């Protein structure tokens, strides 16, 4: 469950820049997913602790 909120891999942007295949879009996608994962990861970890509390 927690691994689903990690950001898009930076390799996508690197390959897009190398092959000149929508480098701006891929860079924006990586940036957006990284910022989104900072928020969503905290929420998912918090939600996972509710049914399974740490003793």
> DSSP string of 14-44?
HHHHHTTSSHHHHHHHHHHHHHHHHHHHHHH
Stretch 13-32: mean pLDDT, rounded?
85
Instruction: Tell me the C-alpha distance between 44 and 23, whole Å.
Output: 30
Stretch 41-48: mean pLDDT, rounded?
85
Stretch 33-43: mean pLDDT, rounded?
85
pTM score: 0.61
Instruction: Tell me the C-alpha distance between 27 and 15, whole Å.
Output: 10
State yes or no: pLDDT of 11 exceeds 60: yes
Calculate the average pLDDT of the chain. 79
Residue 9 has a pLDDT of 76
Distance spanning both ends of the chain, measured CA to CA: 20
């Amino acid at each position: 469950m927690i691994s689903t909120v990690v950001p898009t891999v930076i390799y996508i942007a690197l390959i897009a820049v190398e092959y000149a295949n929508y480098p701006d879009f891929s860079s924006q996608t990586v940036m957006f997913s990284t910022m989104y994962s900072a928020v969503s990861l905290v929420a998912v970890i918090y939600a996972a602790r509710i049914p399974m509390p740490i003793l």
